[in-house]
A and B are shown apart, each in its own frame.
Chain A
Amino acid sequence: MNELMGARELCGRPVVTLGGDAVAQLRDTVFDGPAGRVTGFTLSGRGLLAGPLRKSLPWAAVHALGRDAVMIRGQEVLVEPSAVVARKEAAHGQVLGARVLTDAGTEIGVVLDVVVEGGRSGRVVGFRINARQSLVMGSRRRRRKVFVPRGETLAVSGRALVVPADAVRFVADDLAGFAARVEAFRARGGAAPDGLEKGPSA
């Protein structure tokens, strides 16, 4: 699995052509909820005085999503903003702060960030959430920030996300441990162990 990164930290990351020109920086990350893949980015200009650009970057035009920059072939791959996200979708699809529910009907927290796999994958592998106490066994604190894998059945409706109930057994405390938890979640094959299963970092 490629390096995992939070979508919030992508904001401000420079968009660089393979020719070495920094042409923009990332603003919003747009992903397809049911498919679990990044579909593109809205952009802002470089520099303190620059505002949002009238161009956006579809994922198909991304050469690689790296730790320090997003690489594209050239400036000609940038498209109209509506090709990535319509204005109405942008207004109603904001995920940060949304409630997270399991398909069993339990609210497990609110979304703090969306975890994306870098490189050429663009997969959304999970969420960083502010977990309710009921999710975090043995925690004295009312809420705690944990990473929870995205399920194949993820639904996005209004201000809520739905994840499989057994995803809460694969929470991790940090991104380093989360990659292993995601792999374990994918490989669970219906034989997940009972109780809250936590990674080595937890």
Chain B
Amino acid sequence: MSWWLWPVLVVAAVALLSALFLWVQARRRAGTVIAVQRGGRSGERGAR
């Protein structure tokens, strides 16, 4: 294997790991909308 392939591989691996990390972070921080049933009780009648 040519010597110059090593830095190319290292850079590619770092880029891949960075992309993977950013993807995982985006998934962890991604929000959604959740419906629950509280049966009418609530402190959820509005903020003060």
Interface, chain A (partner B; CB < 8 A) = 7-8, 10-12, 26-35, 37-40, 42, 44, 48-52, 58-65, 85, 89-90, 93-96, 113-114, 120-122, 156, 161
Contact = CB atoms under 8 A, between A and B. Distances in A.
Contact of A85 (B29, B34, B48): B34
Interface of B: 25, 28-40, 42-48
Contacts, number: 114
Contact of B30 (A10, A11, A122): A11
A59 B43 contact: yes
Contact of B36 (A30, A49, A50): A30
Contacts of A89: 34, 36
Contacts of B38: 32, 34-35, 39
B33 A28 contact: yes
Nearest to A161: B35
Contacts of B25: 48-49, 51
Given A11-B30, A51-B28, A35 B35 contact: no
Contact of A10 (B29, B31, B44, B45): B31
B38 to A, nearest CB: 5
Given A31-B36, A35-B42, A60 B48 contact: yes
B37 A32 contact: yes
Contacts of B36: 30-33, 39, 85, 89, 93
A52 B38 CA distance: 24
Contacts of B48: 60, 63, 120
A31 B46 contact: no
Contact of A120 (B31, B33, B46): B46
B34 A90 contact: yes
A53 to B, nearest CB: 10
Contact of A42 (B31, B37, B43): B31
Contact of B34 (A8, A29, A49, A52): A29
B34 A28 contact: yes
B35 to A, nearest CB: 4
B47 A114 contact: no
B36 to A, nearest CB: 5
Contacts of A11: 30-31
Contacts of A27: 29-31
